[in-house]
Amino acid sequence: MTQLIVATGNPGKLKEMQSYLEGSGWELTLKPAELDVEETGTTFLENARLKATQVAIATGQWAIADDSGLAVDALDGAPGLYSARYGRTDQERIDKLLAALGDRGDRSAAFICALVLARPDGTVALETDGQCPGEITHAAAGDGGFGYDPIFFVSDAGLTFAEMSKDQKRKLGHRGRAFEKILQQMQDLCPKN
């Protein structure tokens, strides 16, 4: 197994990525807590590149980063790049988003994920993105997942992300769609020990 540093401090994201890369030859671990990368990009892809390349250089290991967020049409794409910083806790972010939407009829939204794999020297090996269209519910439903999952409804499944099984979320979710595009390439790149 080759170590792959996940450029996040979010254990929920690590767990989800582990499910996508099961059997791929990569052993995932969270980035060191003291290693913080400032997200100064203007797109999800730019932020993912920053995180992957800087974590790879700092650790001397392969690194993978995603930058993802929720874009709500009626809020002009907000919270977007600031999805994780929209509040201090998942519940605070959910409450703020639901309050901002109020009783608006248009609740269409999309989860967006940009994914970047960087070599130990910081060069980009792979990059891609994935999207999942859906809508924001009026109230939370389900107890799985993390972040905005309880209020993001996917009509193809008739469920929120928080109500889906891991397999359903993997198939329909933005991160799963991004990984699907590059999984074979990642397996081919995995250095053999």
* pLDDT of res. 87: 95
* pLDDT of res. 73: 97
- How many separate domains does the chain show? 1
CB 184 within 8 A of CB 24: no
Whether pTM > 0.85 for this model: the answer is yes
* pLDDT of res. 79: 97
Strand 26-30: give its sheet, edge to edge: 26-30, 2-6, 62-72, 108-118, 124-136, 152-154, 159-160
* pLDDT of res. 192: 62
* Nearest CA-CA partner of 157 in 101, 149, 88: 149
For residue 151, the enclosing domain spans 2-189
Residue 55 belongs to a domain with what CATH number?
3.90.950.10
* pLDDT of res. 21: 86
* pLDDT of res. 155: 93
Instruction: Given the residues 67, 90, 149, 156, select the one marked as catalytic.
Output: 67
* Segments of the chain with pLDDT less than 70: 192-193
79 burial level (CB within 10 Å; 0-12, 13-18, 19+): buried
Q: Is residue 73 flagged as an active site residue?
A: no
